[in-house]
Amino acid sequence: TANASAGTVAAGDRVSLGGPVGATTLHVLDEAMTPVPPGVVGELYVGGAGVARGYAGRGGLTAERFVPDPFSGTTGARLYRTGDLVRIGANGLPEFCGRADGQLKVRGHRVEPGEIEAVLLRHPAVSAAVADVRDDRLVAWLVPGPQGPPTVAQLREHCAVLPAYMIPAVFVALERIPLTAQGKTDRRMLPDPADGHLEQGGEFTAPRTPVERVVAEIWRTVLGADRVGAHDNFFALGGDSIRAMHTVARVRDLMATELPLRELLGAPTVADQANLLLAHDHDGSVREFAEAFAALDEDAEARTTSGSTDDATEDQT
Residues 50 and 90 in one domain: yes
Strand partners, 80: 46, 66
User: How far is C-alpha 312 from the geometric centre of its chain's CA atoms?
Assistant: 42
Mean pLDDT within 136-163: 87
d(CA 270, CA 219): 8
Average pLDDT over the chain reads 83
In a domain, 270, yes or no: yes
Residues 154 and 227 in one domain: no
d(CA 93, CA 77): 23
Mean pLDDT within 43-71: 89
In a domain, 275, yes or no: yes
Q: What angle do CA 245, 265, 203 make, to 5 degrees?
A: 110
Residues 55 and 109 in one domain: no
Residues 94 and 114 in one domain: no
d(CA 22, CA 305): 67
Q: Name the most confidently modeled range: 53-62, 98-107, 198-207.
A: 53-62
Please check the confidence at residue 245 and state whether its pLDDT lies above 80.
yes
To the nearest 10 degrees (0 to 180), the angle between helices 270-279 and 285-294 is: 130
In a domain, 263, yes or no: yes
Domain count, the chain: 3
d(CA 307, CA 271): 22
The CATH number linked to 114 is 3.30.300.30
In a domain, 33, yes or no: yes
At residue 243, the 3 state secondary structure works out as helix
Please check the confidence at residue 310 and state whether its pLDDT lies above 50.
no
Q: Which residue has the higher pLDDT, 311 or 177?
A: 177
Residue 37 domain boundaries: 5-98
At residue 220, the 3 state secondary structure works out as helix
Q: Which residue has the higher pLDDT, 302 or 96?
A: 96
In a domain, 205, yes or no: no
Please check the confidence at residue 262 and state whether its pLDDT lies above 90.
no
